[in-house]
Structure 1
């Protein structure tokens, strides 16, 4: 696993299928749920690690952290009441390479994880993955009517740099809406 710097091509190739440990603890305010780890994240061991991924800036712009955290600082998140997991555990190059059955299975595993760790909110970052995994074809961004294993549920835009529909500013605003809801209880 790469600990500093940029992974080599060989390290990225070796990361295919690798699992990335959750950053999770009981009773979090928000458990963020990525679609699946990318190869860069699997190679480094850090969630949302690829340069150009906008998760960490959106987290900061949205008011969840006082400063912009580097992916290598992910273990500080539980101290902020935050955690990270993924809908599908295995790493690959692109989320669109996942089979629908993997997303459905991942939703079932996530439901069990949420029941075990009891976060107040679950925030899925990726509306298409949420729609497929939870069979909610009409779901949109923002709060969802149905809870997930007792937690309130929110869908955020995918922060991948490949998601050109959202700017860093609009991603930050979307995360900020969730932050406002979390603060309101």
Structure 2
């Protein structure tokens, strides 16, 4: 990908990978220029989303960004808080995040996933006005969907290693598999996933 091709992707939008009644709808901050150029979510080579998704147990093998629609087979999907591609997330305004939060809430109410997993706690705080939110399960729902804030898998997020991220994503998976609200809640029988 040339610098010119990447720059041409600025402000592009990328279609969501979604279906109704997903187990987890993962929500990125916004598309990178690489994602905008390729049309594949989390496409930047330094982004750890796909390896972490596999290491945590969400997928049986590490998918490539070009295989993103395979997620639907596992009851998983991808969207973003803000739709437009930028070189860096700090190019987005607070107003864009808040508007994106409203659009995301409407999308979640329509699609009805079990969980909304926002991959970036700062984006979650800004989009939903939850200034004190921390990584982990949140205390509110959107429609019937429970919300979990996950670490941002960007390679720039050096506070989290792939292993520690995989452990946090794994905590979410344990709740999804046991149909519970929090990691410490008693397990309920697993509900079979419908084919989409």
- TM norm. shorter chain > 0.5: yes
Deviation of 1:94 (Å):
0.6
In the alignment, does 2:83 pair up with 1:82? Answer: no
Instruction: Indicate the SS of the match to 1:181.
Output: helix
In the alignment, does 2:2 pair up with 1:8? Answer: yes
Of the candidates 147, 172, 175, which is equivalent to residue 178 of structure 1?
A: 172
Deviation of 1:39 (Å):
0.1
Within-5 A mapping of 1:1-185: 7-185=1-179
Instruction: Indicate the SS of the match to 1:145.
Output: strand
Deviation of 1:144 (Å):
0.4
Instruction: Indicate the SS of the match to 1:31.
Output: strand
Deviation of 1:15 (Å):
0.1
Q: How many residues align?
A: 179
- Partner residue, 2:186: none
In 2, Cα distance between the equivalents of 1:120 and 1:147?
10
In structure 2, list runs of 5 or more residues that go unmatched: 180-196
In 2, Cα distance between the equivalents of 1:52 and 1:91?
16
- In angstroms, what is the RMSD of aligned CA positions? 0.5
